[in-house]
Chains A and B, each alone.
Chain A
Amino acid sequence: MRSLDIGATGMLAQQMNVDIISNNIANMTTSAFKRQRVDFKDMIYQNINRPGAQSSDAGTVLPSGLQIGLGVQVQAAYRIHEQGALQITENSLDLAIGGEGFFQIQLPNGDESYTRSGVFQLNENGELVTTQGYLVEPNIVIPSDAIGIEINQNGEVFVQQSGVVNLTNVGQIQLANFVNPTGLEAIGDNLYVETEASGTATTGSPGEDSLGTIRQGSVEQSNVNVVEEITNLITAQRAYEMNSTVIRTSDEMLQSVAQLR
C-alpha cells in the first residue's frame, strides 16, 4: 500500500521542517543569524498511464495520464541572507554591516572563514579578534596607548592616542562577498566557509562595488521573524498530524482486509 510510505515521507519532511523552525527560534537573539527555510519538492511519479499514450487504433490519445506521486522530500534547507535589524550598543568594537558582505575571520587552523557578526574584542597583543579569539583578517592592531577607536563607514580604523591631536590610521577592515551567499556552509559559531556553490570570495573595502558599509557601535540582530516562525510551526504541526492520519487510515484499510477470511 503506497499511502503508508507516502504518509511516512510526509511525516519525515514535516519533522525536519520543525527541526529547522526550532533552530531559527532558538537563534532569534543570536547576532547576525540568518534564518533557514526548508524547501520541499514532490518525489518522482509512478507512471501507470502516460499522458499522450494512444488509447485506440484510430490514434486517439489519453488527455491526462495516471501518475501516482510517491510523496515529498526535503530538497534543501537554505539560508535567507536578508539584512537583520541593527541594534545600537555604543560599544566601539561592535561592528555591523549595512548591506552585503562578510567579515573575514582566520580559523585557528589557518583557513579562512566568514561571518556577519561583528562583535569583536582585542586580544593580549591588541589584535582585533572575535569573541572566540579568532583573528580578524586583515589583521588590525590597536596600540596599547589608544584611548579611543573610531571606525568609519568605509572600514578605516583610526585610534586616538593620548597626547596626539590627530587620529592615527591603523588599518583597514576588508569585507568579502560571494555570488551566491546561500551556498556558504555554516560551521557554527556564526561562521561560514566557502564552498563550490558559493563561488570564490571577492574582497574589497566596505562601500566599494556591491559591499555594504560598516556601522560602528551597533550589532546586526538575527533576521528571524518570530511571528512567521510560530505560524510555520503551527502549519508544520498540523501537516504532521494529517500525515499521521493518512498512515492510520491506511492501517485501518489494511485491517479490514486482514479480517477477511
Chain B
Amino acid sequence: MENTFITALANQTTLQQQMGVVANNIANMSTPGFKAQNLVFSEYIEKADARVDIEDDTKDDLSLVYARGQFENTLQGTIRHTGNTLDVALEGKGYFGVVKDDDTYYSRAGSFTVNAIGELVTSSGNLVAGEGGGAINIPSDAKEITITHDGTISTDQGSVGKLMITEFDSVQALEPKGNGLYAATEDAEAMASTSTKVLQGALEGSNVQPIVEMTRMIEISRAYQRAAQTIQTEHDRQRSMIQRLSKSS
C-alpha cells in the first residue's frame, strides 16, 4: 500500500541529487577548466520476496530509481585569449600535472604564476609538475617566457623545462578533488600526451552550456513537482478511502 510513497520518495531523492549537480555546474560556469557533470540514473528492483510488510498474494517487485554514478562532459571548453604569459590552455584531452602534498593531481585549469623562489605554481600555490614530476624553475632574470605547443617552456636564456601533460584512457575514472584538481584512481591509466596541444596566453573556460543546464533544471523542477503531486494524490485517495470506510461501518 505504501509503494506509491516509496517510489515517489526515491524519485525525489535522486532529483534532489541531480539538482545539486546542475546547481554546481551553473555555479562553475566561469571556472577555468571546469567540466560539466551529469548523473546516471538506474532502475533498482526491490524483489518482492525481500519485502515483509505486505500479504503474500499482493507481492510485486518494486521498481525504484537511484543515482548510480556521474559522468563528466569531456567537451573542450572555449579557449579565451587572456594575454597573460603564464596562462596556458590545453586543446585535446590532456591534463596538466600538479603536485600537492607530494601527490600528483591532474588539472585542466592553466592559470599559472611564479612563486617567490621562481617555481611555476597554480593559482592555489601548488607546484606545476614538469616532465618527470619535478618542479619547473623560471630564472628571476628571465625576460621572454615562451611555451610551445608541446609544452616546452623556454626563456631568453634557453629551455627551462617541459610541462607534464598526461592523457587518460578513461577520463571518467578521474576523481574530482575540488580546486580544479583531479586524482587518478586505479582505473585511470595515465600515459604521456601525444596529441594535446598547449596554447600560451589563453585559458580554457568551463564547458558548461547554460541553456542545457537551465532546461535540465526546469525538467528536474517539474519532475519533482510531479512526484510531489503523486504523493498528494495517493494521500487524498487513502484519506477518502478511510473516510468512506468509516462512514459505512
Which residues of A are at the interface with B, using a C-beta cutoff of 8 A? 1-3, 6-7, 9-10, 13-14, 17, 37, 39-45, 47-52, 61-72, 75-76, 78, 80, 82, 100, 177, 179-180, 182-183, 196-199, 202, 209-210, 235-236, 238-239, 242-243, 245-246, 249-250, 252-253, 256-257, 259-261
Contacts from B to A (Cβ < 8 Å): 12, 15-17, 19-24, 26-32, 34, 37, 39-40, 67-72, 82-84, 109, 111, 113-118, 123-124, 138, 140-143, 170, 172-180, 185-187, 210, 213-214, 217-218, 220-221, 224-225, 228-229, 231-232, 235
Closest to B180 in A: A41
Identify B16's interface contact among A2, A10, A40, CB under 8 A.
Answer: A2
Contacts of B224 in A (CB 8 A): 253, 256
Q: What is the minimal beta-carbon distance from A227 to any residue of chain B, in angstroms?
A: 12
Nearest-neighbor residue (CB-CB) of B221 within chain A: A249
Q: Are B26 and A7 in contact (CB under 8 A)?
A: yes
Query: Residues of B contacting A82 with CB < 8 Å?
Result: 83-84
Count of chain A to chain B residue pairs whose CB atoms are closer than 8 Å in the complex: 231
Cα distance A199–B39 in the bound complex, in angstroms: 45
**Contact (Cβ within 8 A) A198 B116:** yes
Ordered by A's residue number, 14 sampled pairs between the chains whose C-beta atoms are within 8 Å are A10-B26, A10-B27, A41-B178, A45-B176, A63-B69, A69-B178, A72-B24, A76-B123, A78-B123, A249-B19, A253-B221, A257-B228, A260-B228, A260-B231
Query: How far apart are A11's CB and chain B's nearest CB, in angstroms?
Result: 8
Contacts A64-B172, A66-B68, A80-B84 given; does A246 touch B180 at CB 8 Å: no
Q: How far is the CB of A25 from chain B (nearest CB, A)?
A: 17
Candidates B67, B115, B118, B180; contact of A66 at CB < 8 Å: B67
Please give the distance in Å from B144's CB to the nearest CB on chain A.
9
Chain B residue, CB-CB nearest to A250? B19
B173 & A51 in contact (Cβ 8 Å cutoff): yes
The B interface, classified by DSSP as helix, strand, loop or mixed, is mixed
Please classify the interface of chain A as helix (H, G, I), strand (E, B), loop, or mixed, using the class held by over half of its residues. mixed
Contacts of A198 in B (CB 8 A): 116
A3 CB contact (under 8 Å) in B22, B69, B123, B178: B22
Q: Does A180 contact B116, Cβ atoms closer than 8 Å?
A: yes
A50 and B116 form a contact (CB under 8 A): no
Complex interface: chain B residues within 8 A of A72 (CB):
24, 27-28, 31
- Are A179 and B185 interface neighbours, CB within 8 A? no
In whole angstroms, how far apart are the Cα atoms of A198 and B117 in the complex?
A: 9
Q: Apart from A6-B26, A40-B34, A210-B141, what 15 extra A-B contacts exist at CB < 8 Å? A: A2-B20, A7-B26, A41-B124, A41-B180, A42-B24, A64-B72, A65-B185, A68-B70, A71-B23, A75-B124, A179-B116, A179-B117, A202-B140, A238-B210, A245-B217
**B238 CB → nearest A CB, Å:** 12
Asked whether A242 lies within 8 Å of B142 as measured between CB atoms, the reply is no
- Which residue of A41, A80, A242, A252 is within 8 Å of B109 (Cβ)? A41
Q: How far is the CB of B21 from chain A (nearest CB, A)?
A: 6
Give which listed residue, A1, A197, A257, contacts B19 with CB less than 8 A: A1
A49 to B68: give the CA distance in the assembly, Å: 8
Nearest-neighbour CB distance to chain B for A108, whole angstroms, equals: 27
Bound-state CA distance A215–B123 (Å) is: 33
CB distance from B70 to the nearest CB of A (A): 5
Residues of chain B with a CB closer than 8 A to A235's CB:
30
Cβ contact within 8 Å between B116 and A69:
no
Residues of B contacting A40 in the complex (Cβ-Cβ under 8 angstroms): 28, 30-32, 34
